[in-house]
């Protein structure tokens, strides 16, 4: 009989009345806990996709699942708990290659420390970051932003840190109280850090969402935020950046057979120019591909266009819900 630790044959089951665990008869191999979970059930319980689960096992050895007589992978509750911890930490920006080597106790300690550091100070983070921008303290800004990304769920990061910070930057810019250099300092760092989180997601599945802006629209912050929310919700996506011609965007979307194309329309001066571009994009997209429109001009554009496949997605909760369905 094979002695490989990760395989077993389904034994005649005895009932241990004290532990209520199933256990194999003597001599039939490795102890098998009573409650085991399939790949699909494990993915659902941990918030991971089956593809991510397989990739983490293959590349990082995060857990060593058992296998039944048909070779199907099985996971016990300890593995479920460990995978859930890893999922929560990677969601907060920790690279899987860094945390995969930690035991479950260390993972929990890291999560507890992150929660204490980040959640406890979240109310003042945006203000501290704004002051760092004013003082040209890129080191302080980067440290605060990294803490926020590493410790906060995406929705909280957006709603309580990034959005208030961007609002304050916009207000100060409009009043002439913020220089070009100060605005660029924030924009460049924010782009680098958010893209790092977006691009850290596994690439086992083809993109289901594309994010871009159309020609003329250079504002990128809202697009980055939407992509971050979608990525954190588990949707595989492709971020293409600003000012992508509509025909090119449609060609990529059709070839990849994505669920939706996410656009950001912020500049009020470009609304009239954006209308025919969006109409042309919608016409070029294959049946079943939606256009998700965000940004300050989204509501008026969606109302004017009144096209079934174009929907407004300015609410973070809506973006996350749609992304989970992608």
The CATH number of the structural domain formed by 121-199 is: 1.10.1240.10
Q: If DSSP codes are grouped into helix, strand and coil, which group holds residue 200? A: coil
**What's the pLDDT at 109?**
77
Residues in the chain: 326
What is residue 113's predicted lDDT score, i.e. its pLDDT? 66
For the stretch 158-173, pLDDT in tens is 888 998 999 899 889 8
CATH fold of the domain at 209-325: Rossmann fold (3.40.50)
Dihedral sign computed on CA atoms, order 259, 311, 216, 200: negative
Chain centre distance of CA 191:
15
Concatenate the DSSP letters of all residues of 211-277 into one string. Answer: EE--TT----HHHHHHHHHHHHTT--EEEEES---HHHHHHHHHHHT-SEEEEE---GGGHHHHHHH
To the nearest whole percent, how much of the chain has pLDDT over 70? Answer: 86
Q: Quick check: 140 pLDDT over 50? A: yes
* pLDDT single digits (tens) 61-92: 999 999 888 889 999 989 998 998 898 888 76
Taking alpha carbons only, the member of 299, 294, 289 closest to residue 313 is 294
pLDDT computed for residue 16 by the predictor: 36
**What does the domain layout of the chain look like in residue ranges?**
13-115, 121-199, 209-325
User: Which residues make Cβ contacts (< 8 Å) with residue 194, sequence separation at least 6?
Assistant: 149, 224, 225, 227, 228
CATH 3.60.15.10 fits 13-115, yes or no: no
Q: Say what the pTM is.
A: 0.65
Domain pair 13-115 / 209-325, same fold: no
* Chain segment 81-139, per-residue pLDDT in tens: 899 889 888 876 677 887 888 888 888 877 776 655 545 557 688 899 999 999 999 99
pLDDT recorded at residue 233? 86
Q: What is the mean pLDDT of residues 173-199?
A: 91
């Amino acid at each position: 009989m094979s002695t490989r630790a990760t395989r077993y044959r389904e034994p005649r089951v005895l009932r241990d009345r004290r532990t209520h665990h199933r256990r194999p008869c003597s001599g039939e191999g490795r102890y098998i806990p009573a409650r085991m979970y399939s790949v699909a059930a494990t993915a659902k319980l941990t918030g991971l996709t089956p593809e991510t689960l397989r990739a983490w096992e293959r590349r990082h050895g995060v857990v060593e699942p058992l296998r039944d007589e048909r070779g199907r992978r099985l996971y016990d509750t300890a593995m479920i708990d460990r995978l859930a911890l890893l999922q929560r930490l990677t969601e907060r920006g920790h690279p899987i290659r860094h945390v995969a080597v930690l035991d479950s106790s260390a993972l929990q300690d890291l999560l507890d420390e992150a929660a204490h550091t980040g959640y406890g100070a979240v109310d003042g983070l945006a203000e501290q970051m704004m002051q760092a921008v004013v003082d040209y303290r890129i080191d302080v800004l980067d440290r605060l932003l990294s803490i926020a990304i590493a410790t906060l769920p995406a929705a909280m990061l957006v709603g309580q840190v990034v959005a208030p910070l961007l609002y304050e930057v916009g207000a100060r810019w409009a009043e002439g109280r913020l220089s070009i250099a100060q605005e660029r300092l924030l924009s460049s760092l924010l782009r680098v850090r958010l893209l790092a989180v977006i691009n850290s997601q596994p690439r086992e599945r083809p993109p289901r969402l594309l994010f871009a802006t159309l020609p003329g629209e250079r504002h990128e912050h809202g697009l980055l935020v939407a992509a971050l929310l979608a990525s954190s919700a588990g949707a595989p996506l492709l971020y293409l950046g600003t000012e992508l011609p509509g025909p090119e965007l449609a060609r990529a979307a059709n070839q990849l057979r994505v669920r939706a194309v996410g656009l950001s329309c912020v500049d009020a001066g470009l609304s009239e120019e954006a209308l025919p571009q969006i109409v042309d994009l919608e016409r070029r997209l294959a049946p079943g591909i939606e256009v998700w429109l965000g940004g300050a001009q989204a509501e008026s554009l969606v109302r004017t266009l009144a096209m079934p496949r174009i929907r407004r997605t300015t609410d973070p909760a809506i973006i996350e819900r749609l992304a989970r369905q992608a």
